[in-house]
Amino acid sequence: MHLHSEVDEQLLRDTFDKFIGKIMQLPPVRSHVKRQYRQREIYYSDILEINGRDVLFKVGVESGTYIRKLIHDMGEELKVGAHMVELRRTKVSTLSEKDNLVTLQDLDDAVYFYEKENDDKLLNKCLDSIESAVDFIPKVFISDGAVDPVCRGSPLAVPGIVKFNDFGKEEVVGIMTLKGELIALGKAVMSADEIKSFKKGIAVKTDSVIMKIDTYPKYEKIN
């Protein structure tokens, strides 16, 4: 954050504390959502460094919070104005920059060593399984026989489900095999409670399929 004028440090710290908890925010003029005030929660906000008019801080916010706007609003509150200079995401859901964060150069090096010198140590570090990208979403685990139809895009019905997490209607869910592989992402047609009580019917609509067809055999061939 860059302040447009000198500000008393204590006042600055107090203002930061004011912007913790629930705040109202108007999306910026150029935004992809409707411009109306909406409530967002700021979980924490800590000043790391103050250097003249520049302030470095770390903030944990609800999804859909505009940081540029947050800084602008803090500037207004301080009556001097402020704008954002740089922004970096340090963590999101289960992922953080403390994990195996790789730069494009790291990736290029890793691929070079793997291709030219048959050394997979670096690439092993860079490449995680696709499942870690969907760690945070609720999942349904389905029996082997139901995998092939889902791979071909057919919706998932209740009899195919073996176990599942808690989720509501319309929520995005990951459709997984019993081995824990991601097959596809879908939208829940039934909530988790409905799946418990119904014996049949479509539970999840398949949206995007990740697993290749023929990884699992057709249903008839399993039995």
Partner 1 sequence: MKLPLEDFKHEIFSLREEETDSRYGKAPKDRSISERINYGFILLDKPAGIRSKTAAYIAKNIMTGLGAKKMGYSGTLEY
Would you tell me which residues interact with partner 1 (CB under 8 A)?
30-32, 43-44, 46, 58, 60, 66-68, 86-87, 89, 91-95, 97, 99-104, 106-108, 111, 114-115, 120, 123-124, 126-133, 136, 138-139, 143-144, 147, 161-166, 177-182, 192, 195-196, 210, 212, 215-217, 222
Contact 12, 55 (CB under 8 A): yes
CA-to-CA distance for 189 and 11, rounded, in angstroms? Answer: 51
Six-digit token string for 28: 């910026």
CB nearer to partner 1: give 74 or 139: 139
Which among 167, 172, 174 has a CA at the least distance from the CA of 193? 167
Nearer to partner 1, 11 or 178 (CB): 178
- Minimal distance in Å, beta carbon 63 to partner 1? 10
Region of residue 187 (left: phi > 0; alpha: psi -120 to 50; beta: else): beta
Determine the straight-line distance between the first and last CA of the chain, rounded to whole angstroms: 63
The H-or-E segment that residue 12 falls in is helix 9-18
Nearer to partner 1, 101 or 202 (CB): 101
Nearer to partner 1, 5 or 93 (CB): 93
Min CB(3)–partner 1 separation in Å: 20
